[in-house]
A and B are shown apart, each in its own frame.
Chain A
Amino acid sequence: MKSVITLALPCDIRFTRLASQMAANTASLLASTCNADTGNWEFSHAFELAISEAFSNAVFYSTEKTASQKVTITFTLEQHRLMATIRDTNEPFSIETPEPSIENYPERGYGLMLIRTVMDTVSYIRENGENIITMSKQL
């Protein structure tokens, strides 16, 4: 049985927390319906963090900051697995970015490293003028 939740947010940095909290709550919901260990914060934190990063990225690289531009987040709840996709209509990009070198005290570039570490799978495709990042994690 699959449940799908879709959230369309304006491409605006103010909505970052809304997106990440939604992710955390969705993950907790899945964990509680599966009777998983409720003391385990890592599953919901992983989604909170990954969505926060992906949403911030989508807004940061948006070209036309118009109110009509949307970032769409879809959560697909499966048995013991949560999948999240983030779509935006920005320029295509590569998710194969080099890791920042710590010695230079970099202020940016940690986002993808975090997403990759906390998620089980991360993929990127460009389709119909949209960037689609799909990530998933097993409970």
Chain B
Amino acid sequence: MKTLIAIKEQYHTWVHEAFPAMHPLLLPLCNKPFIEYLIDFAILAGSREVRLLSDGQLTEVEEHCGTGSRWGIELSYANLHPADDQQQLLDKNRKFCGGGRTMILTGYNFISYNKQKSYLDLATIATDTPIASCPGGTITLKGPPESGASEKSPLAPFSITPLDSVQSYFRISMETLQTGSSRYVLPGYGSEPDCSIGKNVIISKTAQIRKPVSIGDNVQILPKTIIGPSAIIGSNVVIDNGCSVSGSIIIDNTYIGENLEIDMRIAAGNTLIDPTSGVSLTMEDPHLLVGIKTWATTAILKRKTIHALAATILLVLQFIPFILLFPLLKLQGKWKDDPYMQETGLAGALAVAISLDRFPLLLKVITGKLDIIGSSSRSTCAGKHSYPDSGPLSRLAVFSYAEAEDWPVNGSDAAIVERFHAVHSTPIKDIGMTIKALINRLTKGR
């Protein structure tokens, strides 16, 4: 028997909204991608050839699942049209089906089954009506039944449930965690049935693990944390000091900041989702919950553009004063390449007050090498011309947030205020902060 798995995009649009970074077919349920459960079921039913059909992109799924050799099957990929019905699916894959017995799984549904039972009899059942159905799709057998030793043993139980919302996703994940590895083939190591741990996982001596738990790969669990009961921790996750995670799912690539209690939630990046109401909350405070991933390139581009515009305006405003004062200071030998000039003499004081010392740096904002406001640029200006690829938390800039807030420009205090703004800034707020920095310097200069 062959299997066609046909999943139309319309059934999983909610995944894009709830977990934008995740391909719906690879959405992890208890750290195992969704599609692998369906492939496992097809194999239990005796399929050696499985084809995945979608009206959306499959490239990512193809990269993940490959040719199917790791399951010992032939896995192929093809496309369907959003309007296709079951007959059309058979027509479009006629060569694949070869006129033989074919099981068609449609919809974005979770199949609950038991890996210890045999589903091979599905190939011999003579029925054209769906053998399982739910609002989101069906399991149907098409083509002539295969003749086989049918001892008329009762078919092993299985059922399908639509995965149609964050609520059902949470519920099914938790059920899978409870029933655990006795029913499904689950990833990770574990000598106990309801505790599995992936590769490269570091668990602090003072952390507590309360079953059932499932932990993915590359996870750090720091001191004094309590994981579980009923916690699903994805891959590439850091659980910081003193956190507790229970009855919750932490999606891949998430950082859980210090002393946070997560109970009955789904955490993904910097978003916390309440699985009972489906309400999601994006955390403002970076010390509670931070996405590890860097910012989207489009956001960086937007920020760079607005910063460059602001720099241009400043350049125009400062142009005449600069032309007048620069030769004077240069002749007096008071102009140094270090922008943090000593305010000696009237001309020097005036130059610093109206921030002429930063004039040359503004050009670098226009070329995108610096930001107009960000972290303290003191280190940048020490005659170095290398601008390291700065992450979101340290953007080298002409003015610093510490200057805008009138905090001491040096020391760790400044680092905190800069870190805070680096996380919370928007391009428009940045302009406001730049103006504040300019005014602060002007009033201090007097």
Contact = CB atoms under 8 A, between A and B. Distances in A.
In-complex A–B contact (CB below 8 Å): yes
A117 B301 contact: no
A11 B298 CA distance: 32
Nearest to B63: A42
A96 B301 contact: yes
A117 B63 CA distance: 12
Q: How many of chain A's residues touch chain B, expressed as a range?
A: under 10
Contacts of A117: 59
Contacts of A96: 298, 301
A53 to B, nearest CB: 16
A117 B298 CA distance: 16
Nearest to B67: A39
Interface in A96-113: 96
Contacts of B301: 96
Nearest to A117: B59
Interface string B283-321: 000000000000000100100000000000000000000
A96 B304 CA distance: 14
Q: How many of chain B's residues touch chain A, expressed as a range?
A: under 10
Nearest to B60: A117
A117 B59 CA distance: 9
Contacts of B59: 117
A117 B62 CA distance: 13
Contacts of B298: 96
A63 B298 CA distance: 29
B381 to A, nearest CB: 25
A97 to B, nearest CB: 12
Nearest to A94: B301
A117 B301 CA distance: 20
A117 B57 CA distance: 11
Interface string A90-134: 000000100000000000000000000100000000000000000
Nearest to B297: A96
A134 to B, nearest CB: 16
Interface in B207-230: none
A96 B301 CA distance: 9
A65 B240 CA distance: 60
Interface string B109-146: 00000000000000000000000000000000000000
A87 B301 CA distance: 24
B64 to A, nearest CB: 13
B4 to A, nearest CB: 24
Nearest to B57: A117
Interface string B372-411: 0000000000000000000000000000000000000000
B54 to A, nearest CB: 15
Interface in A61-104: 96
Nearest to B62: A42
Nearest to A118: B59
B421 to A, nearest CB: 26
Nearest to A39: B67
B395 to A, nearest CB: 20
Interface string A21-57: 0000000000000000000000000000000000000
B77 to A, nearest CB: 12
B258 to A, nearest CB: 34
A128 B35 CA distance: 50
Nearest to A96: B301
A96 B300 CA distance: 12
B20 to A, nearest CB: 15
A96 B302 CA distance: 12
3 contacts: A96-B298, A96-B301, A117-B59
Q: Lowest 3 CB-CB distances: which A-B pairs, in order?
A: A96-B301, A117-B59, A96-B298
